Amino acid sequence: MRMEMTTTITQQQPLPLGHATTEPAVVRWLLIAVAMLFLGLFLLVPMAAVFAQAFEKGVGVYLASLRDPDALSAIRLTLLTAAITVPLNLLFGLAAAWSITKFRFPLKGVLTTLIDLPFAVSPVIAGLIFVLLFGLQGWMGEWLVRHDLKIIFAVPGIVMATIFVTFPFVARELIPLMQSLGSEEEQAALALGAGGWTTFLRITLPNIKWGLLYGVILCNARAMG
């Protein structure tokens, strides 16, 4: 009996780090090489080409181009769009992730599908939808003209289109994280008398802060792109 227990314990011991997988070393190195080659061809080479073209005529010319009025206007518009879009998507992502992971309600699957919709819809199609809604010949075009409001080819239209293409990022980072964490800690805090905001600030937010930060970074990068 003692010998059988010793054998069982020995068999359950974890394998050394070098033997964590059963694939031969050649297969592992081949997969790593393919992944690195893919990243090099489709990520590093284009980035290197962009920087090479930007500094082709020297750093001075590049810095001087940043002082061009058109360049400054584009930079201001980009920063303004990101400054409006990212906080709104942060609030939406938190609310959507909280609703999906903490509550049971009808059409939860529909909400989850709608969150993923911008990943499936082309930005060109999204732009066409806004033109059909707010353009001169769109559904709201005449009303906007009568009230001297401009949406398309203006800051409101840019912000709305950017929100549409970026709103899944924060929610998609938080939903699986909050599902894996569960709600036991929040329920314990509520049972001990903590309020909703106190529970969120003291328990939920510290647990999801890194996923939230990653989602905000992805959202900001997509908005500025």
Rounded to an integer, the average pLDDT of 57-82 is 87
How many Cβ atoms are within 10 Å of 114's Cβ, its own excluded? 13
Tokens 């011991």 locate to: 13
- For 149-183, the three-class secondary structure string (H helix, E strand, C coil) is CCCCCCHHHHHHHHHHHHCHHHHHHHHHHHHHHCC
> Residue 145: what pLDDT?
84
Range in 11-20, 24-33, 44-53 the model is least confident about? 11-20
CB 211 within 8 A of CB 177: yes
Average pLDDT of the chain is: 84
Residue 3 has pLDDT above 80, yes or no: no
Residue 183 has pLDDT above 60, yes or no: yes
Identify which has the larger pLDDT, 60 or 37: 37
Report the interhelical angle of 69-102 vs 168-181 (nearest 10°): 30
Residue 141 has pLDDT above 90, yes or no: no
- Report how many helices (DSSP H) and strands (DSSP E) the chain contains, helices first: 13, 0
Residue 21 has pLDDT above 90, yes or no: no
pLDDT in tens, 85-113: 999 999 999 999 988 888 888 888 888 88
Residue 5 has pLDDT above 60, yes or no: no
Residue 17 has pLDDT above 80, yes or no: no
What is the Cα–Cα distance from 121 to 171, expressed in whole angstroms?
A: 17
Range in 3-17, 18-32, 120-134, 185-199 the model is least confident about? 3-17
